[in-house]
Amino acid sequence: MSPSKVVFTQDMKDLAKHLLIEFNYSPEQISGRCKLQLIPMVSHERLYQWIWKDKRQKGDLYKYLRRKGRKNKKRGSEYNNRGILQNRKSIDQRPSIVEERNALVILK
Protein backbone atom coordinates (compact mmCIF):
# COMPACT_ATOMS: atom_id res chain seq x y z
CA MET A 1 0.00 0.00 0.00
CA SER A 2 1.48 3.32 -1.02
CA PRO A 3 1.50 6.34 1.29
CA SER A 4 -1.23 8.91 0.83
CA LYS A 5 -0.49 11.82 -1.47
CA VAL A 6 0.47 15.02 0.34
CA VAL A 7 -0.90 18.21 -1.19
CA PHE A 8 1.57 21.11 -1.29
CA THR A 9 -0.48 23.76 0.48
CA GLN A 10 0.22 27.46 0.75
CA ASP A 11 1.13 27.01 4.44
CA MET A 12 3.78 24.47 3.45
CA LYS A 13 5.12 26.83 0.78
CA ASP A 14 5.34 29.67 3.28
CA LEU A 15 7.16 27.51 5.82
CA ALA A 16 9.53 26.11 3.19
CA LYS A 17 10.28 29.61 1.88
CA HIS A 18 10.95 30.85 5.42
CA LEU A 19 13.32 27.95 6.19
CA LEU A 20 15.05 28.29 2.82
CA ILE A 21 15.64 32.03 3.04
CA GLU A 22 16.02 32.74 6.75
CA PHE A 23 17.86 29.61 7.90
CA ASN A 24 19.55 28.69 4.59
CA TYR A 25 18.16 25.15 4.80
CA SER A 26 18.41 22.85 1.82
CA PRO A 27 15.22 21.16 0.55
CA GLU A 28 16.48 17.91 2.10
CA GLN A 29 16.88 19.64 5.46
CA ILE A 30 13.44 21.27 5.19
CA SER A 31 11.61 18.02 4.55
CA GLY A 32 13.73 16.14 7.11
CA ARG A 33 13.28 18.76 9.84
CA CYS A 34 9.53 18.87 9.30
CA LYS A 35 9.34 15.08 9.41
CA LEU A 36 11.21 15.03 12.75
CA GLN A 37 8.89 17.66 14.20
CA LEU A 38 5.80 15.90 12.78
CA ILE A 39 4.93 18.95 10.62
CA PRO A 40 3.33 17.94 7.32
CA MET A 41 5.67 18.67 4.40
CA VAL A 42 6.21 17.39 0.89
CA SER A 43 9.37 15.57 -0.20
CA HIS A 44 12.62 17.30 -1.09
CA GLU A 45 12.08 16.40 -4.76
CA ARG A 46 8.79 18.29 -4.73
CA LEU A 47 10.49 21.26 -3.06
CA TYR A 48 13.10 21.32 -5.83
CA GLN A 49 10.31 21.18 -8.46
CA TRP A 50 8.67 24.15 -6.76
CA ILE A 51 11.94 26.12 -6.69
CA TRP A 52 12.69 25.46 -10.39
CA LYS A 53 9.13 26.37 -11.33
CA ASP A 54 9.60 29.64 -9.45
CA LYS A 55 12.81 30.24 -11.40
CA ARG A 56 11.01 29.71 -14.72
CA GLN A 57 8.50 32.31 -13.57
CA LYS A 58 11.33 34.83 -12.96
CA GLY A 59 11.45 34.15 -9.22
CA ASP A 60 14.58 34.15 -7.11
CA LEU A 61 14.15 31.19 -4.74
CA TYR A 62 16.88 29.25 -6.55
CA LYS A 63 19.39 31.89 -5.45
CA TYR A 64 18.99 30.69 -1.87
CA LEU A 65 20.11 27.16 -2.72
CA ARG A 66 23.66 26.47 -1.64
CA ARG A 67 24.96 25.71 -5.13
CA LYS A 68 22.50 28.14 -6.73
CA GLY A 69 21.58 25.57 -9.33
CA ARG A 70 25.11 25.04 -10.60
CA LYS A 71 26.03 21.55 -11.63
CA ASN A 72 29.21 19.78 -10.64
CA LYS A 73 32.10 20.13 -13.05
CA LYS A 74 32.44 17.05 -15.22
CA ARG A 75 35.68 15.15 -14.89
CA GLY A 76 37.52 13.94 -17.95
CA SER A 77 36.58 16.95 -20.01
CA GLU A 78 38.56 17.76 -23.12
CA TYR A 79 39.50 21.04 -21.47
CA ASN A 80 40.75 19.35 -18.32
CA ASN A 81 44.55 19.12 -18.43
CA ARG A 82 45.27 17.86 -14.94
CA GLY A 83 47.95 15.16 -14.86
CA ILE A 84 49.24 15.82 -18.36
CA LEU A 85 52.99 16.42 -18.59
CA GLN A 86 54.03 19.44 -20.61
CA ASN A 87 56.60 18.86 -23.41
CA ARG A 88 56.61 15.13 -22.87
CA LYS A 89 58.27 12.86 -25.42
CA SER A 90 56.69 9.80 -26.94
CA ILE A 91 58.13 6.38 -26.20
CA ASP A 92 58.81 6.08 -29.94
CA GLN A 93 61.39 8.85 -29.64
CA ARG A 94 63.58 7.05 -27.10
CA PRO A 95 67.18 6.32 -28.10
CA SER A 96 67.98 3.07 -29.97
CA ILE A 97 70.59 2.15 -27.35
CA VAL A 98 67.76 1.22 -25.03
CA GLU A 99 66.80 -1.68 -27.30
CA GLU A 100 70.36 -3.04 -27.23
CA ARG A 101 70.66 -3.23 -23.46
CA ASN A 102 70.85 -6.61 -21.84
CA ALA A 103 68.71 -7.32 -18.86
CA LEU A 104 70.76 -7.51 -15.72
CA VAL A 105 70.19 -10.59 -13.64
CA ILE A 106 71.02 -10.24 -10.00
CA LEU A 107 71.66 -13.52 -8.27
CA LYS A 108 71.82 -13.81 -4.56
Residue 15 lies in a domain: yes
**Global pTM value:** 0.63
Number of domains in the chain: 1
Residue 60 lies in a domain: yes
Give pLDDT, residue 80.
65
Distant-in-sequence, close-in-space partners of 6: CB < 8 Å, separation ≥ 6: 40, 41, 42, 43
What whole-number percentage of the chain has pLDDT above 90? 55
Question: Of 13-22, 41-50, 55-64, 99-108, where does mean pLDDT reach its minimum?
Answer: 99-108
Residue 108 lies in a domain: no
Residue 53 burial (10 A CB sphere; 0-12, 13-18, 19+): exposed
Bigger pLDDT: 10 vs 108: 10
- Segment (H or E) for 19: helix 10-22
Residue 20 lies in a domain: yes
Residue 14 lies in a domain: yes
Residue 39 lies in a domain: yes
Residue 52 lies in a domain: yes
Distant-in-sequence, close-in-space partners of 68: CB < 8 Å, separation ≥ 6: 62
Residue 85 lies in a domain: no
Helix axes 44-56, 27-36, angle to 10 degrees: 140
Please give the residue range of the domain that contains residue 39: 10-64
Give pLDDT, residue 86.
79
pLDDT band at 19, cuts 50/70/90? very high
Give pLDDT, residue 52.
93
Question: Do the Cβ atoms of 34 and 18 come closer than 8 Å?
Answer: no
Decide if pLDDT at 96 tops 70.
Answer: yes
